[in-house]
Amino acid sequence: MRMLRIVLYCLLGGLSLTVAALGNGEFGWCWLAGIVLSASFVPVALLGPRPALYQFGVITPVLLLVTVLCLWSEALIFVQAPEIQQHAVRNLIGASVIYVMAAIVLAALAVMLKLSRVDGSKVELRSADKVALLVVVCGIAYTLYYLVFGAITYRFFTKGYYPDAPQLVARLGLWFWVIQIGRGVLMTLAVLPVISTLRMSRVQAALAVGLLIWVAGGAAPLLLPNAFMGPTQRFIHTIEILTQNASLGITAVLLLRPKQAAAVTARV
């Protein structure tokens, strides 16, 4: 019975992104993107905070920072199309509205479908000062993942799509490092409410958060109709983002949540 409710959560939650299909006739792809996005939040619905307002508070930072802001900023740097460069603020506001609506729908569905479970592991976080330091460490780690996996992807797969990318990066200078570390920090902060409330074991939470940042930060949005990328290009970026974002999510949980034995020892 719970599995049926989970399926309904994904199907109904997926409808929240179909507003993006207005005027372009791509209802099926938008619904599929919404279903995939909703599925990534199933662990939050099951083992996250129970009240709808708390669910909304956990979901919204992920969608606004990972899905909207980070992808918007990446497109602004590397996609030199007039539709993106000349309408940047409008695009940011429009995407934010759509994904806040999605967060409202998912939070409400989690409560209406009674998905929350009473069991689960006790959540332990490191001390506040260590968390603050490790969030910055996660930002640096993300930059390394971005450079390594991004360089491999660019060298073998996407160089033809972005021939001016090296010049764009060189033009940014030190700002490139500031932007990428900042994106890693923002994504880590975005999932911090999930990490601190997800009643799963440390390893399970690491996999769930890694999957969440990958789907929210690439896999689902790249299913939406896109006038700037063909199917092959979108698939390549989906795999590239898997290597970068999932690695960040796993790293963040393993750093910010201590091993259970260590947590017990610290309390004693």
Residues 19-51 pLDDT 10s? 877 766 789 999 999 999 999 999 999 999 999
Domain boundaries, the chain: 2-267
- Residue 9 in contact with residue 113, Cβ under 8 Å? yes
Split the chain (268 residues) into runs of 10 and give each run's mean pLDDT: 94 92 79 96 96 96 96 85 84 93 97 93 93 97 96 92 88 92 97 97 97 96 85 93 97 94 48
- Residue 66 in contact with residue 191, Cβ under 8 Å? yes
Whole-number pLDDT of residue 24: 67
DSSP string, 59-101: HHHIIIIIIIIIHHHHHHHH---HHHHTTHHHHHHHHHHHHHH
Whole-number pLDDT of residue 92: 93
Whole-number pLDDT of residue 15: 94
pLDDT digits (tens, 9 = 90+) for 159-205: 988 888 889 888 989 999 999 999 999 999 999 999 999 999 999 99
The span from the CA of 129 to the CA of 132, in Å, is: 5
Q: Is 132 exposed, middle or buried (0-12, 13-18, 19+ CB in 10 A)?
A: exposed
Whole-number pLDDT of residue 208: 98
Q: Is the dihedral of CA 41, 47, 48, 53 positive or negative?
A: positive
DSSP string, 99-137: HHHHHHHHHHHHHHTT---S--PPP----HHHHHHHHHH
- Residue 241 in contact with residue 217, Cβ under 8 Å? yes
Whole-number pLDDT of residue 261: 54
The span from the CA of 22 to the CA of 64, in Å, is: 21
